[in-house]
Amino acid sequence: MVKFSDRTMEKFKSVVSKYPKKDAALLPTLWLAQQEFSAITPEVEEYVAELVGVSPVRVQEVRTFYTMYTPKPLGKYHLQLCTNIGCMLLGAEDILAHLKGRLGINVGETTSDGKFTLSTAECLGHCGTAPVIRINDDFHENLTGESLDKILGSLK
Amino acid sequence: MAILTKNFEKKSSYTMGVYEQGGGYKALKKAISEMKPGQIVEEVMKSNLRGRGGAGFPTGKKWSFIPKDSPKPKYLTVNADEGEPGTFKDRPLMEQDPHAVIEGSIITCYAVDIHTAFIYVRGEYAKSIQRLRDAINEAYASKYLGENILGSSFGLDMVVHRGAGAYICGEETGLLESLEGKKGQPRMKPPFPAIVGAFQGPTVINNVETMAAIPHIITNGGEWFNNLGAPGVGGGVKLYSISGHVKRPGVYELPMGTTLKEIIYEHAGGIRGEKKLKAVIPGGSSAPVLTADEIDVKMDFDSLAAIKTMLGSGAIIVMDEDTCMVKALKVLMKFYAHESCGKCTPCREGTGWMARIISRIHRGEGEISDLDTILSISNTINGKTLCPLGQAAIGPAISFITKFRGEFENYIRRGSN
């Protein structure tokens, strides 16, 4: 059975106290769960449901509505390339082709060594420095094939 | 012009020390010690400040709709779910000057008698979230937040709420649903959030840039702010995000009502590679596109509405003569289909059809009649959805196809561009 560590449980209690209703803490609790368990599996959904006092189906409904909660563990580095208009105009398609070639995977897949998961994303709010990729929580801007190779090479 | 952006270049601009050195939190002190809440609302009305999220509703007027004698707690929700494609002006405010956003929010709460504020930040903006959380902790330590702020009887708590990836949560009632721990599906209006908002209480929802303008209005007066706008326009300064095929993309702080031509050719340096301009989206991807000969227009709410487009978030997306309009529209339609929340049938089904049809055209399998089918679907969505997402999707669909019909037809005949 899944269970928060003591430290995460403390964080959870603090989060819940900030909202007028317990179930309003569902999104932040899913964030905590994703950090702790790497993915929001059905088992995690049930655990979160119990924590915030809602039905498991409500948790699943919310988890599937938002793109940033993942039902299965991602690679060590989650590559999210923006392909919306600002990045498209400045060559995001070429960058995507370059990434697929280099990693040997398609969008939505993870490399066999578990290092990289490749995704495309809608506008990430960095259009002034397009094309942009989000790798885990960090943004890398003004991408070229060359700069991307350097970035990927530096990720251990 | 550097008012909202005045701290951006300073080292450690996001810390309390640097913010206070530049005069930060003096507006809050003035508001609490010298002004009655009603005076603040009045000053904001005089400033002609209109909501910077996209709808452009007058901020002071919005505040005045909040019932004074509500038995239920009232809330402020700062909309930091910046997701309109082309928009990247709230992020630098949160990353470089989070205290300005916080100070404006505290003043807003004081003016409207609110004691709990949430800042709803899109999930991808991890750095903005961290900077805001750190700044809020500093503000509590300096007694700008918490109980008895600056020795007054006014108290306020402020919480950063992280979104999780959904464009629809930038729509104010979708945002409220999400804040309450649900799917971000918009609510029926009325009741408007000012009456029944977060947790059923009266709620003010304001954009990040709107909040950042408040301290300046309090310090220098509403009239001063209004006069910062272009002559005959007013309404203060505006952060314009400009992207696409320009030499110097970025965020520019300029008088509200600066012309689109001036922004593209003077501030952003013109088109890359000395190419010709083909098209511009003036206010984020939902704003109907303009052709190259329509750019002699003032960038303010009314001037753009007069030529049937909108200022929206002030996000300018520039496309040069080599841009394939079929591909550009395909990317946008895919976006709206992906982001439609699924609640209203015309939007849920219509955005999906439009995306599939334009993709088919892009693959070279289109027919001329497909263009009229897209226009007909747009007509079916028009005015028949609870929230503006459906409307946002048909803005580009109709304008791209009607203004660049020749290019679309040629593409269909040839099967490529």
How would you class B141 by CB atoms within 10 Å of its CB: exposed for 0-12, middle for 13-18, buried for 19 or more? Answer: exposed
Query: Is residue A69 less than 8 Å (CB to CB) from chain B?
Result: yes
For residue B85, whether the previous peptide bond is cis, meaning omega lies within 30 degrees of 0, is no
Q: What b/e string do you get for B386-400 counting C-beta neighbours within 10 Å, with b at 16 or more?
A: bbbbbbbbbbbbbbb
Question: Residues of A numbered 101-120 whose beta carbons fall under 8 angstroms of chain B's beta carbons: which are they?
Answer: none
Report, in this order, helix, strand and coil percent for chain A, each rounded to 5: 50, 10, 40
Q: Tens digit of pLDDT for each residue in B266-300?
A: 999 999 999 999 999 999 999 999 999 999 999 99
Whether A70 has its CB under 8 Å from any CB of chain B: the answer is no
Residues A51-109: tens digit of each pLDDT: 999 999 999 999 999 999 999 999 999 999 999 999 999 999 999 999 999 999 999 99
Interface TM-score (ipTM) > 0.90: yes
Across the interface, whether the CB atoms of B328 and A89 are under 8 A apart is answered: yes
**CB B107, CB B33: distance < 8 Å:** no
From chain A, pick out residues whose CB is under 8 angstroms from the CB of B86: 85-86, 123, 127
Beta-carbon separation of A127 and B86 below 8 A: yes
Q: Is the model's pTM score more than 0.90?
A: yes
Which tokens is B48 given? 């002609």
Of A24, A25, A86, the CB nearest to B85: A86
pLDDT in tens, B261-271: 999 999 999 99
Distance CA A49, CA A55 (A): 6
Using the predicted structure, report yes or no on whether residue B1 has a pLDDT greater than 90: no
For chain A, counts of helices (H) and of strands (E): 7, 4
Do the Cβ atoms of B250 and A86 come within 8 Å?
no
CA distance A129 to chain B (A): 7
pLDDT at B402: 98
The three-state secondary structure class of A126 is: coil
Q: What is the pLDDT of residues B24-52, one digit of tens each?
A: 999 999 999 999 999 999 999 999 999 99
pLDDT for B417: 82
Q: Which residues of A touch B183 (CB under 8 A)?
A: 61-62, 65
Residues in chain B with CB shorter than 8 Å from the CB of A134 are: 124
What value does the mean pLDDT of chain B take?
97
Mean pLDDT of B353-368: 98
Contact criterion met (CB < 8 Å) for A65 and B166: yes
Q: Does A21 touch chain B (CB under 8 A)?
A: yes
- Whether A67 sits inside 8 A of B315 (CB atoms) is no
- The model's confidence at residue A1, banded by pLDDT at 50, 70 and 90, is confident
Minimal-distance CA residue of chain B relative to A70: B164
Q: Is B165 within 8 Å of A26 when comparing Cβ atoms?
A: no
Q: Does the distance separating the beta carbons of A130 and B182 come in below 8 Å?
A: no
| Out of A84, A89, A126, closest to residue B245 by CB | A89
The residue in chain A having the minimum alpha-carbon distance to the alpha carbon of residue B249 is: A128
User: Angle at the Cα of B406 (from B402 to B409), degrees rounded to 5?
Assistant: 100
Q: Are strands A133-135 and A116-121 parallel, antiparallel or unpaired?
A: unpaired
Instruction: Search chain B and give the residue with CA nearest A133.
Output: B124
Q: What would the pLDDT profile of B92-151 be if each residue is shown by its tens digit? A: 999 999 999 999 999 999 999 999 999 999 999 999 999 999 999 999 999 999 999 999
Q: Average of pLDDT values for B218-222?
A: 98
Q: Would you call A85 and B331 a contact, using CB atoms and an 8 Å cutoff?
A: yes
Backbone angles phi, psi at B254, to 5 degrees: -140, 165
Residues of A in contact with B162 (CB under 8 A): 27-28, 31
Residue A145 at interface with chain B, using a CB cutoff of 8 Å:
no
Q: How far is CA A2 from CA A34, A59, A136, B26, B360, in A?
A: 12, 16, 24, 49, 46
CB contact under 8 A, B124 and A134: yes
